């Protein structure tokens, strides 16, 4: 699993910083998470193949989180895309995007599917044989969701030496990897645990976009391997957090600690501060394993 930060600063783009957008590589998927202005350029810089993006998840309809989407959808058309594209986001996103495409007479020549969200409870929005994606309801000035990405438990790994020892035919390999016991020709039953190794522990990533401090998300992200949580302010500006429905670095660290996540990544920094290292210093007073998002940063886990 690999997370690439395309942009992680709040409000307006600057010459050296970009608003929120991320790419998550998981089980042969490339998921785009939020799509602020400049996302296309950042995708180019990160050498992400546009054609591999089939699912885009938008947290909310503030410009710094989705104003890059109309341009990206249009670029896909110019590149001759044929594969379908799925966009998951708040109710209204279809109207916003389709109006722009209609006015510009530039409707896509590939299937474009919108999955509009309006539930205030967590819900499963994507699932295939290897990955699930669920919403994390957040508390912001407009309807907002984070997203929880989870790997499914993989098949068990064959112990080749054990399989040879019992002289088991290759035709049984898929059954063994699926967890089944094997009956030999003489009627002996060989337990699956004698023929396999446990698969790797499934990984999970929780993306918590713009939100006020909200403890009700803790059960949803409990034990996640990696948590990205917005930290717009430092404690010196804590009085601004409730008004704007944002969080401080200390609050993000508190959520990480209470949810027992493996690692916390801070982002969505206000540009009023001279150094983002200040966010890390504050968060580490509560939660030790803290990293800082920055444009172009890559996290493997």
Residue list for the binding site for Zn(2+): 60, 62, 64-65, 140, 210, 268
Instruction: Please count the other Cβ atoms lying within 10 Å of the Cβ belonging to residue 255.
Output: 24
Q: Please, what is the angle between helix 249-259 and helix 277-284, to 10°?
A: 40
Q: Is 159 annotated in the active site?
A: no
Classify 51 as helix, strand or coil: helix
Which DSSP category does 284 fall into? H
Q: What are residue 91's phi and psi, to 5 degrees? A: -55, 135
Classify 297 as helix, strand or coil: coil
* H-state helical runs in 199-248: 218-221, 240-244
| Cα 7 to Cα 72: distance, rounded to the nearest angstrom | 15
Residue with tokens 């990897």: 177
Q: Quote the longest CA-to-CA distance of the chain.
A: 75
* H-state helical runs in the chain: 39-45, 63-66, 69-78, 93-103, 160-165, 173-177, 218-221, 240-244, 249-259, 277-284
- Residues whose CB falls within 8 Å of the CB of residue 216, separated by 6 or more in sequence, listed in order: 137
* Alpha-carbon distance values, 119 to 96, 208, 219 (Å): 19, 16, 18
| Cα 261 to Cα 182: distance, rounded to the nearest angstrom | 38
| Cα 148 to Cα 28: distance, rounded to the nearest angstrom | 17
In contact, 255 and 213? CB cutoff 8 Å: yes
Q: Which of 33, 60, 42, 9 is nearest to 231 (CA)?
A: 9
- Catalytic residue among 64, 169, 181, 198, which? 64
Catalytic site positions: 64
């Amino acid at each position: 699993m690999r997370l690439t930060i395309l942009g992680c600063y709040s409000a307006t783009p600057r010459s050296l910083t970009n608003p929120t957008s991320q790419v998550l590589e998981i089980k042969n998927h490339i998921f785009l998470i939020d799509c602020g202005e400049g996302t296309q350029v950042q995708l180019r810089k990160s050498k992400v193949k546009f054609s591999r993006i089939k699912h885009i998840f938008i947290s909310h309809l503030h410009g710094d989180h989705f104003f890059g989407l109309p341009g990206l959808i249009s670029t896909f058309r110019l590149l001759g895309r044929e594969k379908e594209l799925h966009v998951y986001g708040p109710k209204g996103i279809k109207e916003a995007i389709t109006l722009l495409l209609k006015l510009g007479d530039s409707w896509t020549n590939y299937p474009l599917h919108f999955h509009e969200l309006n539930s205030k409870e967590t819900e499963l929005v994507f699932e295939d044989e290897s990955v699930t994606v669920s919403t994390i309801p957040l508390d912001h000035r407009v309807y907002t969701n984070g997203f929880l990405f989870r790997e499914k438990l993989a098949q068990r790994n064959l112990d080749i030496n054990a399989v040879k020892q019992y002289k088991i035919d290759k035709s049984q390999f898929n059954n063994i990897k699926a967890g089944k016991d094997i009956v030999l020709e003489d009627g002996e039953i060989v337990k699956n645990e004698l023929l396999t190794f446990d698969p790797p522990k499934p990984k999970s990533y929780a993306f918590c976009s713009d939100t006020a401090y909200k403890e009700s998300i803790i059960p949803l992200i409990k034990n996640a391997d990696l948590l990205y949580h917005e930290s717009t302010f430092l404690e010196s500006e804590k009085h601004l957090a409730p008004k704007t429905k944002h969080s401080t670095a200390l609050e993000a660290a508190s959520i990480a600690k209470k949810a027992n996540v493996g690692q916390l990544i801070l982002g969505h920094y206000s540009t009023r501060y001279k150094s983002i290292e200040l966010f890390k210093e504050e968060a580490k007073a509560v939660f030790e394993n803290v990293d800082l998002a920055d444009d172009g940063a890559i996290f493997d886990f």
